[in-house]
Structure 1
Amino acid sequence: METITYKLEHFEGPLDLLLHLIEKNKIDIYDIPIVEITAQYLEYVRQMEREDLNVVSDFLVMAATLLDIKARMLLPKEVDEEGEEIDPRAELVQRLLEYKRYKLLAEELADREEGALTHFYKASTLPPEVARYQPPVDLDELLDGLTLAKLKRIFEQVMKRQENKMDPIRSKFGTIRREPVSLEEKIGSVLAYARRARRFSFRQLLERQADKLELVVTFLAVLELMKIGKLHLTQEETFGDMDIEALEPEGMEEEPDLGGLDGFEE
C-alpha cells in the first residue's frame, strides 16, 4: 500500500481529503471502492495524532462513517419499498458531489476576484444636470387601463394604510396653546383694582381670573406688591379668607417700581 504523506493543512476537512483520494486514484465517484478508500483514509488519520483534537474529531467521524459503509457492503443487499437495492455509499456520494460543486464555485469566485483587481474603471464624467435628468412622464402610458373602480380601490387601500398608522387615542388629542401671562402686567392690573376697591378679599380677586395660570400669576403679583409696600394682607384664622388692603393714599396713580422683576414672565 502506498504511504500517505500529505499534511493536514492541505485539506479543509474530511470531504476535501476524500475528494483528493478519489481524484488521485482516478476513481469513479459514483462507484467508490470503499475498501481501498477506507484503508487510505485511515492511514492518513493515523498520521494526525499530534494535530488539534478539535480538528481531528471531524476526520474521525468520517472514518467511522467509512467503516460503517464498509461493514454494510459486506452484508446482504438491502432493498427499498420499490424493490431496488440500497447502495450504502449513496449518501456519501451525494455529500461529495455537493462539496465538489461548492468547491468549484468558490474557486471560480476567487479567480474572478483576482481578475477584478487588474481592472481599472473610469469615473463618470456626466455633468450633474445630465445625471439628474429624468424623462417626462407619459400620462397616457401611466394611466393606461386605469378605471374609476381601480382608482377607488387604490384610494381605499391608501386611506386604510393611513388609518393603521394613526394612534386611535392620540390622534384625537387637540393642541393646547399656552397664552403668555406677564407678571408685570398682572401687577399693574391688581394694583389698579386695589386702588379702586381699597379693601377686598383674596377670594374676590381670584374669582376675576380666567384659569389656573392666571391664578398663579395673580398670587405672585400680590406677593410682589406686598414686598414693595403697596398692599397689606391680614388673615384672622388659619385657612380662612385673606383680607387685602391698599396702603397707598386715595387718588394715587404713580406706576410702581418693578425693576427687581428682571423681566419675569410666565
Structure 2
Amino acid sequence: QMQSMDLEITSEFLAMAAQLVYIKTVSLLPRHEEAEALKKQLQGQLLQYDLCQRIAKQMGTQYQGNAVFVRSPLPIPVETVYHRNHSPQELLDAYLDSAGKARRRLPPPKTAFSGIVNKRMVSVSSRIIYVMRRLYQDGQLPYQELFAPCDRSELVATFLAMLELIKSRRITISDDNTMVYFNRTHFTGEEDSPAESTGGKEG
C-alpha cells in the first residue's frame, strides 16, 4: 500500500514537472497568451491542492470512530442587556419571593422543636404501677380502658408495661383480647399492693 502511494505521489510530481516544462516552453514561443493562460491554470491547481491539503489535515484532527467528522461548536452570541420593563409591583413580588427563599435556608428556631423536646416522658415502671392499681380492686378490666385517655407517650409506655406484666404472669388477656385479668396467685406477698406502694397516687 505504501508503495502504491509513493507511485501515485511520484506520478503527480512528474505530471506537475511536465506541465511546468510545457509552460516554460510555451513562454519561449512568440504566442505569450497561451503561456499566460497555462500559468494561471497551474496557479489555480496549486491553490486547490493547498486547500485540499489543509482540509485533509483539519479532518484528520477531527476524526473520531469510523469515518466520523465533527464540526467545532459555533459561538453563541450572549445578549447582556436586559430589555424588559417591570412594574413596581412585579419588582416588589420578586424581592419578597427571594427574601422568603433566603429565610427558608436559615436553620429553624428553637421554638419549632418545643413540641418535641418539651413533651412529657412517661416511664414504663409508672405505667406498670398504674395498670396494677387499676386491676387490684376488681381483678379484671376491659383492655381498651387501660389506654383511654392517653397521649402518645402514655400509650407506648402502657403497652410496654402490659408486655412486662404478661411476661411476669401478673396479668393475662382473654382470647378475644377484650379483657385483662389480674393473677393474684402470682402476686407475691413480699411486695406491697399497688395502692399502698404509691400511697394512693399514680407515679
- TM-score where L is the length of structure 1: 0.31
Q: Whose Rg is larger? A: 2
Structure 2 length-normalised TM: 0.37
